[in-house]
Structure 1
Amino acid sequence: MSDATTTTAGPASRAGGPPDAPDGRLQRVLRRFAHALVGHPKLVVAAWAVLIAACTPLATGLTDVLTDQGASKVVPGTSSARADARIKESFPHRSEREVVVVVQGTDVRTPQVRGLLADLDTRIAGLRRDGEVERSSSAFTVYRDTTAGFLTGVRERVRERATTEAARRAAVDAEVRRGAIPTALAGPAEEAAAADDDAAVTAVAARFARQTDWSAFPLDVPKELVDRLVAPDGRAALASVSYTDKAGSDPDVEWLRDTARTLSERAGAGVEVHVTGELALIHDTYEKAESDNALMESVAYVIIFVVLLFFFRALVPAVLTLAVVGLSMNVSQAALNLLGREVTLTQFTVTIMQFVMLGAGVDYSMLLSSRYRQERLAGRGPKEAAVHATVHAGESMVLAAVAVVLAFGATLLSPVDWIPPLGYGGLLGIPIVLAAALTLTPCLLALLGDRFFALGRSPLADLERHGAMARHLRRTAEFARRRRAAIVVLFLVATVPFALLVSGNRSTSDPVALSPATDSRAGYETVADTWGDAAVLPTIVTGRAADGVLDDGRPTPGGLAAVARLTETLAATDGVSSVDSLSHPFGSRWSADRLTAAGTGVTEDYASPDGALRFVVALKDDPYSEAAARTVQRLDTVLARDGAAVGTLNLGGATQVDLQYGAALRSSFWRMVLLVSLGVFVMLVITLRSLLVPVRLIATIMLSNVLAIGLTVLIFACWRGEAIIDDLPIFLTVLMMGLGMDYEIFLVTRVRDLIRSGLDQDEATMEAVVDTGRVINAAGLVMAGSLGTMALSSTLMLREYGAGLGLAVLLDATVIRMLFVPASLMLLRKYNWWLPPLPGRRRRTAAPSAGG
Structure 2
Amino acid sequence: MTDTPTTSGATGTVRVPSPPAPSTGPPARSPVQRALFRLAEGLARRPKTVIAVWAVLIALCTPVAGQLHSVLDDQGASKVVPGTTSARADELTKRAFPQRSEREVTVVAEATEAHGPELRGLLAGLDARLAGPLRSGEVRSTASAFTLYRDATAALLGGVREQARERGDTAAERRAYVDAEVAAGRVPAALASTARTAVEAASRQELTRLAGDFTVATDWRDFPVAVPGGAAARLLSQDGGTALVSVAYAADGHGDPDVEGLRTSVRELAGDRDGVTVHVTGELALIHDTYAKAEADNALMESVAYVIIFVVLLVFFRALVPAILTLAVVGLSMSVSQAALYGLGQQVTLTQFTVTIMQFVMLGAGVDYSMLLSSRYRQERLAGRPPREAAVHATVHAGESMLLAAVAVALAFGATLLSPVDWIPPLGYGGLLGIPIVLAAALTLTPCLLVLLGDRFFALGRGALTDLEHEGAMGRHLLRMAHFARRRKVAIVVVFLVVTAPLALLVAGNRSTSDPVALSPVTDARQGFETLAGEWGDSAALPTTVLGPAAPGVVRDGALTDEGRAAVARFTERLAATDGVASVDSATQPFGTPWTGGQAAAGQAFLTDHVARDGTLRFVVVLADDPYSAAAADTLDRLRDTVRETDAGVGDLVVGGATEVDLQYGAALRSSFWQMVALVSLGVFVMLVITLRSLFVPVRLIATIMLSNVWAIGLTVLIFHHWRGEVVIDDLPIFLTVLMMGLGMDYEIFLVTRVRDLARAGASQEEATVNAVVDTGRVINAAGLVMAGSLGTMALSSTLMLQEYGAGLGLAVLLDATVIRMLFVPATLLLLGRYNWWLPSLRRRGGKRRTADAR
Tell me if both proteins adopt one fold, taking TM over 0.5 as the criterion.
Answer: yes
**Residue 230 of structure 1 contacts residue 237 of structure 1 at CA under 8 Å; is this kept in 2?**
yes
The answer as to 2:537 corresponding to 1:524 is no
Question: What is the CA-CA distance between 1:58 and the residue it aligns to?
Answer: 0.9
Q: Which residue of 1 aligns with 2:372?
A: 367
Residues 304-362 of structure 1: per-residue CA shift (max 9 Å, x gap): 00000000000000000000000000100111111111111000000000000000000
- Pairing partner for 1:486 from 485, 491, 515: 491
In structure 1, what is the equivalent of residue 444 of structure 2? 439
Please say which of residues 761-770 and 278-287 is displaced more in the overlay. Answer: 278-287
Q: Where does residue 332 of structure 1 map in the other structure?
A: 337
1:474: which partner in 2? 479
Partner of 1:7: none
| TM-aligned CA deviation for residue 12 of structure 1 | 8.3
Partner SS for 2:840: coil
Give 2:778's aligned residue.
Answer: 774
Residues 102 and 523 of structure 1 are in contact (CA less than 8 Å); yes or no, is this contact kept in structure 2? yes
Q: C-alpha deviations, 1:384-427, integer Å up to 9, x for none?
A: 11000000000000000000000000000000000000000000
For 1:687, the equivalent position in structure 2 comes to: 691
User: Does 1:736 pair with 2:740?
Assistant: yes
Question: Hey, what does 1:674 align to over in structure 2?
Answer: 678
CA drift at 1:556: 1.1
User: Which one of 788, 792, 796 corresponds to residue 792 of structure 1?
Assistant: 796
2:292 aligned partner:
287
Tell me if the contact between 1:404 and 1:739 (Cα under 8 Å) persists in the aligned partners. Answer: yes
Which whole-Å CA distance do the structure 2 matches of 1:224 and 1:354 have between them? 51
Would the alpha carbon gap of residues 15 and 466 (structure 1) be closer, same or farther in structure 2, given more than 3 Å must change?
farther
Task: Give the whole-Å Cα distance in 2 for the aligned partners of 1:165 and 1:608.
Answer: 42
Identity over aligned pairs, percent: 70
Deviations 1:545-601 (A, max 9, x none): 11111111111112111111111111111111111111121211111111112231x
Shift of 1:848: 6.3
The aligned residue for residue 577 of structure 1 is: 582
Q: 2:240 aligns with which of 230, 234, 237?
A: 234
Which 10-residue stretch deviates more, 173-182 or 478-487?
173-182
Q: Which deviations, in whole Å up to 9, do the C-alpha atoms of 1:155-208 show, x marking residues without a partner?
A: 222333444444433433343343332233233323333233322222221111
Aligned equivalents of 2:78, 2:405: Cα separation in 1: 31
User: Superposition pairs for residues 499-578 of structure 1, below 5 Å?
Assistant: 499-578=504-583
Is the aligned partner of 1:391 residue 2:396?
Answer: yes
- Greater CA drift, 521-530 or 38-47: 521-530
Map of 1:341 onto structure 2: 346
Q: For residues 465 and 688 of structure 1, what CA distance do their matches in structure 2 show?
A: 26
Instruction: Summarize deviations over 1:509-536 as a string: whole Å, max 9, x none.
Output: 0001101111111111111111111232
Between 151-160 and 588-597, report the one with greater CA deviation.
Answer: 151-160
When residues 762 and 539 of structure 1 are mapped into structure 2, their CA distance, relative to the original with a 3 A threshold, is same
Residue of 138, 146, 149 corresponding to 2:152? 146
Contact 2:229/2:591, CA 8 A, preserved across alignment: no
* 772-781 or 492-501: bigger deviation: 492-501
Name the SS for the 1:722 alignment partner: coil
- For residues 266 and 660 of structure 2, the distance between their equivalents in structure 1, rounded to whole angstroms, comes to 33
AA at the equivalent of 1:533: D
Shifted more, 830-839 versus 202-211: the winner is 830-839
Is 2:140 aligned against 1:134?
Answer: yes
Matched ranges for 1:602-751 at <5 A: 602-642=606-646, 644-751=648-755
- 1:104 is paired with a residue whose SS is strand
Mapping of residues 174-323 of structure 1, within 5 Å = 174-246=180-252, 248-268=254-274, 270-323=275-328
- 1:65 and 2:71 correspond: yes
Amino acid at match of 1:129: R
Deviation at 1:11, TM superposition (A): 8.8
| Letter matched to residue 312 of structure 2 | V
Of 110, 113, 119, which residue of structure 2 is paired with 1:113?
119
- Provide the C-alpha distance between the structure 1 equivalents of 2:492 and 2:372, rounded to a whole number of angstroms: 27
- Distance (whole Å) between structure 1 residues aligned to residue 772 and residue 132 of structure 2: 71
Counterparts in 2 of 1:248 and 1:346: CA distance versus 1, 3 Å: farther
Report the Cα distance in structure 2 between the residues aligned to 1:22 and 1:363, rounded to whole angstroms: 23
Q: Which residue does the alignment assign to 1:811? A: 815
Equivalent position SS for 1:181: coil
- Give the superposition deviation at 1:840: 9.7
Pick one of 461, 486, 493 that aligns with 1:456: 461
Letter matched to residue 208 of structure 1:
F
Task: Report if aligned partners of 1:59, 1:334 keep a CA contact under 8 Å in 2.
Answer: yes
Given the superposition, is the C-alpha separation of residues 848 and 173 from structure 1 closer, same or farther in structure 2, using an over 3 Å criterion? Answer: farther
Q: Secondary structure at the match of 1:648?
A: coil
CA shift at 1:847, angstroms? 5.9
Q: Does 1:355 align with 2:360?
A: yes
Q: Distance in 2 between matches of 1:202 and 1:339?
A: 50
CA–CA distance in structure 2, aligned partners of residues 470 and 644 of structure 1: 77
Given that 1:16 and 1:371 are in contact with CA atoms closer than 8 Å, whether structure 2 keeps it comes out as no
CA distance in 1, matches of 2:99, 2:402: 52
Mean CA deviation greater in 515-524 or 349-358: 515-524
Q: Which amino acid aligns with 1:324?
A: V
Contact 1:15–1:374 (Cα < 8 Å) also in 2: no
Secondary structure in 1 matching 2:619: strand
The 8 Å contact of residues 18 and 470 in structure 2, kept in 1 or not, is answered as: no
Measure the CA separation in 2 of the matches of 1:227 and 1:279: 24
How far apart, in 1, do the equivalents of 2:574 and 2:853 lie?
71
Matching residue's letter, 1:457? R
Q: How many angstroms does 1:466 deviate by?
A: 0.7
Q: Does the CA-based 8 Å contact 1:747-1:772 persist in structure 2? A: yes
SS of aligned partner of 1:724: coil
The gaps in structure 1 that reach 5 residues or longer are 1-9
Q: State the aligned residue count.
A: 839
Shift of 1:105: 1.9
Letter in 1 for 2:722: C
Contact 1:16–1:374 under 8 Å retained in 2: no
1:6 aligned residue: none
TM-score (norm 1): 0.96
Q: Does 1:38 align with 2:35?
A: no
* Paired amino acid for 2:773: V
CA–CA separation in structure 2 for the residues paired with 1:385 and 1:508 = 52
Alpha carbons of structure 1 residues 17 and 576: separation in structure 2 relative to 1, 3 Å: farther
| Rounded Cα–Cα distance in structure 2 between residues aligned with 1:621 and 1:207 | 41
Match of 1:5 in 2: none
2:740 corresponds to 1:758: no
Is the deviation greater in 360-369 or in 173-182? Answer: 173-182
Q: Distance in 2 between matches of 1:106 and 1:11?
A: 76
Counterparts of 2:716 and 2:22, CA distance in 1: 40
Letter in 1 for 2:768: A
Mapped partners of 1:52, 1:750: distance in 2:
34
2:59: which partner in 1?
A: 53
Inter-CA distance 338–154: structure 2 relative to 1 (3 Å threshold): same
SS of the residue corresponding to residue 645 of structure 1 reads: coil
1:76-115 residue CA offsets vs partner (Å, 9 max, x unmatched): 0111101111111111111111111111122342112111
5+ long unaligned stretches in structure 2: 1-15
SS of 2:456's equivalent in the other structure is helix
Distance 2:474 2:697 in 1: 27
**Aligned residues of 1:114 and 1:210 also touching (Cα < 8 A):** yes
Per-residue deviation, residues 691-737 of structure 1 (Å, max 9, x unmatched)? 00000000000000001000000100111110000100000000000
Q: 1:99 aligns with which of 77, 101, 105?
A: 105
User: C-alpha displacement at 1:644, in angstroms?
Assistant: 2.8
User: What amino acid does structure 1 have at the position aligned with 2:423?
Assistant: W
Residue 39 (structure 1) shift: 0.5
Output the CA distance in 1 between the equivalents of 2:276 and 2:230.
24
Task: Quote the Cα distance in structure 2 between the aligned partners of 1:21 and 1:287.
Answer: 51
Match of 1:827 in 2: 831
Alpha-carbon displacement from aligned partner over 1:214-246 (angstroms, at most 9, x marks no partner): 122221123411111111112211111111124
